[in-house]
Amino acid sequence: MSAATSATADPSSTDAATSAETALTDVVPAPVEVFPDAEAEYRLTPWTLIRTEPHSAGAHKVGLLLAESLRPATGYPLPVVPARSHKASGISLLLDDVEDTLGREGYRLEATDDGVTIRATTAAGLFAGTQTLRQLLPPDIEANARRTTAWTVPGGTIVDQPRFAYRGAMLDIARHFHTPDEIKSYIDELARFKINHLHLHLTDDQGWRIEIESWPRLTTVGGGPGTGVDGVGGGFLTKEQYSDIVAYAADRYITVVPEIDMPGHTNSALSTYAELNCDGIAPPPRTDMAVGYSSLCIGKEITYEFVEDVIREVSELTPGPYLHIGGDEAHVTPPEDYRLFMRRVLPIVEKYGKRPFGWNEIVRAEPATATVAQYWGTSTDNAELADAVARGHQVIMSPANKTYLDMKYNADTPLGLSWAGYIEVRDSYEWDPGDHVTGVGEDAVFGVEAPLWSETLRSSDHIEYMAFPRLAAVAELAWSPQEARDWTAFRERLGKQAPRWEERGIDFYRSPEVPWQD
Ligand code: TNX
């Protein structure tokens, strides 16, 4: 039985919204297959062990994170010990080649009266399985103090694996700086929905947010006090803080994708270093929300020394395979210059061992096909993107009118912008990334990403309000097979996230489209 069939079986059952019972089908993103067993149920006890695959540091670490997440509410010790046998009892996290049909991130979760066993080929798959397990426990599990709840897991089996290998969220820390702690709490929320890439938009006209030792004033001046939209978003990540975020994300199976936006969106660099300008004169810093007015100087050698220094330092700090070089809205860079610039810069990215990402305009430079184009348009037709796909490019789908988390929900939303339209939860859910843009089929889709631009955002509350619940919708598009997706079933499952978000203090938008559970 697929999640879609089981969850839609009784459309009149909106009273599910008032029941605290968690069913095996209540998971977001919807798993590939769910086989509930109404006879079985596992109940955690004070003696429950978390048993992990012996000799696997990865499995052990996943076990430790799971224990850490279950201890506060249960008050149980939940020791993490090596699994001496593959017999089900307690919570077992096992690596098992038998499951190699499930791919790198797939898993199989089986809940019986004796225990919950998660099997996967890699620790990444085990981690995904543990995120499912957390959602199968009662919402109280999110409490950060002890509760006297019956800690039951519904019986049955879930067999699951992702549709797309790349499932991303982007956070803009340039328009307004967000602190390492704010970024980490966003990472915590992303991991729950099996998002596995965090794209950090590190530089823009209003601020430079990553330390570059060879150009130190980028951060002290370009990222200093008074930078950011309205001059209230100053701050930057030191190399150490950036590396710490990368490691924190990696523990949660999230790869950081750094973006240095160029040749446009560079006023913070241009206003800091006069020599980067064609006329040698630094423009004033900017804190307004305009776009498309800045450009690196394409004809000057120092531009490429600067770009190489930045790419080298950021690449050295980034263990992940990708580096995003922006390329969007370069309205004051003449097309031929744009092409020259990209054709010179893209090989630098590859020289430092990274696969380049760029916003979809990058295909105008006809780069090597390894360059991944991130589509942010609002149209379902884009001839230059379709041509690029025909040449062999892959695409990350981030259509602005579907996935832009900074778009308002409706005219009354206090935060956000509206240039791509209002985006209600259903709008963000009801589209198919593998069949959205003419000429960009499933095979050309590298993944799906939800960007969050921060012109109007100041705090974690603001991030949460714009991201949730829409990020959960986009996560399901990126993970779940198209056949398992259905709005009617999704809104029910989504409604059950409410008490979990409430427990964690997540300031989500209570869309009238969703039957929120108390
Ligand atoms: C367009 S999307 C931009 C950003 C803005 C965003 C606001 C893209 C590649 N460029 O510079 O922040 O709109 O929604």
Nearest to 150 by CA among 161, 159, 141: 141
369-388 confidence digits (pLDDT tens)? 999 999 999 999 999 999 99
- The arithmetic mean of pLDDT across residues 58-81, rounded, is 98
CA 204 – ligand 1 centroid, Å: 10
Q: Is the CB of 291 under 6 A from ligand 1?
A: yes
262-292 confidence digits (pLDDT tens)? 999 999 999 999 999 999 999 999 999 999 9
Q: Using CB atoms within 10 A of its CB, is residue 116 exposed (0-12), middle (13-18) or buried (19+)?
A: buried
102-134 confidence digits (pLDDT tens)? 999 999 999 999 999 999 999 999 999 999 999
Q: Which atom of ligand 1 is nearest to the CA of 175?
A: 12
324-337 confidence digits (pLDDT tens)? 999 999 999 999 99
State the catalytic residue, choosing from 329, 350, 366, 430.
329
CA 265 – ligand 1 centroid, Å: 10
Q: Which atom of ligand 1 is nearest to the CA of 374?
A: 9
Q: CA 238, CA 246: separation in Å to the nearest integer?
A: 12
pLDDT number for residue 14: 38
Q: What does DSSP say about strands 115-120 and 107-111: parallel, antiparallel, or unpaired? A: antiparallel
21 tagged catalytic: no
CA 461 – ligand 1 centroid, Å: 21
The best mutation among 289, 328, 360 to test binding of ligand 1, ranked by most ligand atoms within 8 Å of the C-beta, falls on: 328
Q: Is 150 left (phi over 0), alpha (psi -120 to 50) or beta?
A: beta
Q: Is the CB of 375 under 6 A from ligand 1?
A: no
The helix/strand/coil state of 503 is helix
CA 358 – ligand 1 centroid, Å: 13
Reported as a pLDDT band with limits 50, 70 and 90, residue 86 is low
Q: CA 152, CA 370: separation in Å to the nearest integer?
A: 47
Reported as a pLDDT band with limits 50, 70 and 90, residue 21 is confident
CA 117 – ligand 1 centroid, Å: 44
Protein residue closest via CA to atom 13 of ligand 1? 453
Q: Is the CB of 357 under 6 A from ligand 1?
A: no
Q: Which atom of ligand 1 is nearest to the CA of 404?
A: 14
Q: CA 270, CA 286: separation in Å to the nearest integer?
A: 11
Residue pair 355/315 in contact (Cβ under 8 Å)? The answer is: no
CA 453 – ligand 1 centroid, Å: 7
> ω into residue 180 within 30 of 0, thus cis?
no
Protein residue closest via CA to atom 10 of ligand 1? 328
Protein residue closest via CA to atom 2 of ligand 1? 376
Q: Is the CB of 404 under 6 A from ligand 1?
A: yes
Residue pair 511/409 in contact (Cβ under 8 Å)? The answer is: yes
Q: Please say whether the dihedral angle defined by the alpha carbons of residues 190, 192, 195 and 196, taken in this order, is positive or negative.
A: positive
- Rg from Cα positions in the chain: 23
- The arithmetic mean of pLDDT across residues 161-173, rounded, is 98
Contacts of 412 (CB under 8 A, 6+ apart): none
